[in-house]
Amino acid sequence: MSVSDPHLLALLRAIRLRQSAPDAAAAGEADTAAALSEIARNQTARKKKEAQVAEQADAGTPPYFSKHRAAEEDTPRGGSAGLLWRGDPSAVMGRANLRNARSAIPPIGGITPSGPTTPVPPIPALEGVRPPEPPGTDFPPQLPPRSFPSRRPRTSGPVRRAAGRDGMDPADDAALRDIQRNLSTSITFAGGVEDVAERLWNALHQAQPALLSSLPGTAPTQRADLARALTWLVHHLADPPAVVSGCARLGAVLAECGLQWNRLQLVGAALAEATRAGMPPGSWRQDFDQAWRWAWQHTYEWIVHGGTLVAYQPTIWDVEVVSHEQRREDLAVIGLRSLLPMPFRPGQFARFEVPEIPGVWRPYSLAGAPHRDEYIELHVRAKSETGVSGTLVHHTRRGARLRMTRAEGDMGLPDSRGILMIAGDTGVAPMKAMLAELAARGDTRQTVLLWSVRDQTELYDIDALTELAARVPGATVIPVVAEEPSGPYMSGPITDAVTTYGDWSRYEIYLAGPPQMLAKTTAALLRLGVKPDQMHYDPPE
């Protein structure tokens, strides 16, 4: 049934009015008769127009104009082709009443009687009145009810989860434990982890000497690092998240050391060989060989992955406090050991964070020999018991853990020229690192350290500095005490000592200390003819 046909709508309206209002029967009959008469009249007019179109086609009139002319004639002269009832179905209103109420109810389409009317397109005529269809066919048939999967009823028992750890299959956990057992057993048969690490270091030193030379430390410290690494790997192999995290951090550290990844490709085979070489004849098994090669392949992948992250995030080292000496009430010398290789040049500094104040980093110069061992020394003076410095001096004890960033600073030992070091207060820490490096190298060049302090009690590290200078043939340590009594040491301001000890134009000069001391000393050196590019210091923060 077409709901856009005005004639059928008129019939439906008449039937609806007849059912809802008995006194509207006459109006319904009039509507019905009018609708039927319009249907018959339209059919006769349509047949007549079809005949005219055929005659015009035979006479040569274009069909386009004849079609639109016929459409114009189909449109009633008095207005639109029909009206829809928009009121209450129970109201009594026939065609005559609609004609009288035309000013009150506008036609459909938003056209107001007083405004301009938009032409209504022609409505095609009906071919004939269709008999009423059986009940129930006026609307589309109902769709079959949709079936949804039944929801599993809740049970009061606990939900069972997979037995594997971190989403792994239980069979994978069992395989990891088997590999872990083979690694541990093979190390035991090979004489222990220290013997395996020593043979591994010897093999790498012979096959890849550049690999070991890029890492800090001497041969004994590197062997100890390898032994700790093997122990850690065997203990954590059955815990994949720990292996991934640890290898990624190691990769970041190796990248900071400048290690090239292709030098690590032979480590797996060297591991298997270092283990096999320590076993009695006939005790080496194929599953031992496969376990070592498999373990190294996966370890190598995560090490390289961690190394690639250095370009996107800062590298952080965990360090352990191995000594804490309160040299003065407000000053402490703190010994640290890095848990992973820590590369730095003598004279550089790093930023440290204490657990008590997370997110706050403070710079401190690094005293120690980076190419000798993993020992790092901090000289910290605190004005109060709060803050990072106050925590390090007054509240940090042996065994505590700190975090540090990569080393920074442009200070470093020159290749061949003489060296003048000028330090004030705890600025002697980077100078101590350079002295230790000269002692480790056996360097014989002329080196002078001027250490400026306020009084003799501030010479908190004079014994260690004197011992280091004794191991460097051309080194001299000269304390300069500003206030009397100066005892056996030189007295007066540091600028007087700089001008007293001759010509420094052929020396590389390194300065560290309070900002006021740096400003006065650099000005004095410029007056002595020292060029600015000969002076090296890190800007104070």
CATH number among 3.40.50.80, 1.10.10.10, 3.40.50.300, 3.40.50.2300, domain 418-536: 3.40.50.80
Q: In percent, how much of the chain has pLDDT > 70? A: 67
Torsion, Cα of 203, 208, 211, 217 (10° steps): 40
Distance CA(455)–CA(412), nearest Å, equals 29
Return d(Cα 27, Cα 467) in angstroms, integer: 127
User: Strands 535-536, 507-512: parallel, antiparallel or unpaired by DSSP?
Assistant: parallel
pLDDT in tens, 158-189: 444 444 445 556 677 888 899 999 999 999 99
d(CA 469, CA 208): 35
Q: For residue 38, is pLDDT > 90?
A: no
Q: What is the pLDDT of residues 410-447, one digit of tens each?
A: 888 888 789 999 999 999 999 999 999 899 888 889 99
Asked whether the predicted pLDDT for residue 143 surpasses 60, the reply is no
- CATH number, domain 317-404, options 2.120.10.10, 2.40.30.10, 3.30.70.1400, 3.30.559.10: 2.40.30.10
What distance in Å separates the CA atoms of residue 353 and residue 392, rounded to the nearest whole number?
10
Q: Which of 145-154, 253-262, 466-475 has the lowest mean pLDDT?
A: 145-154
Query: Which of 6-20, 99-113, 138-152, 206-220 is predicted least confidently?
Result: 99-113
Q: Average pLDDT in the 42-70 region?
A: 55
pLDDT of residue 37: 63
The band of 33, judged by pLDDT with boundaries at 50, 70 and 90, is low
Contact 413, 346 (CB under 8 A): yes
Domain ranges of the chain: 6-100, 170-311, 317-404, 418-536
CATH topology agreement for domains 170-311 and 418-536: no
pLDDT confidence of 99, banded at 50, 70, 90? Answer: very low
For residue 173, the number of C-alpha atoms closer than 13 Å in the C-beta half-sphere is 11
Per-residue confidence (pLDDT) for residue 55, from 0 to 100: 59
Phi then psi for residue 512, to 5 deg, are -155, 135
The mean per-residue pLDDT over the stretch 130-149 comes to: 44
Residue 157 exposure: Cα atoms within 13 Å on the Cβ side: 4
Q: Average pLDDT, whole number, for the chain? A: 77
With 0-12 / 13-18 / 19 or more C-beta atoms within 10 angstroms meaning exposed / middle / buried, residue 520 is middle
91: Cβ contacts below 8 Å, ≥ 6 apart: 21
Supply the pTM of this predicted model: 0.65
Give the residue among 423, 429, 415, 417 at the shortest CA–CA distance from 510. 423
Least confident of 76-90, 237-251, 260-274, 449-463: 76-90
Residue type, 116: P
Amino acid at 84: L
Q: Does domain 170-311 have CATH number 1.10.490.10?
A: yes
Structure tokens given for 191? 């004489």
> Residue 283, Cα to own-chain centre: how many angstroms?
48
pLDDT above 70: residue 372? no
pLDDT value for 322: 95
pLDDT at residue 91 in the model:
36
Which amino acid, 337?
Answer: R
Name the most confidently modeled range: 31-35, 150-154, 437-441, 478-482.
478-482
State pLDDT tens for residues 184-232. Answer: 999 999 999 999 999 999 999 998 888 888 888 888 989 999 999 999 9
pLDDT number for residue 540: 74
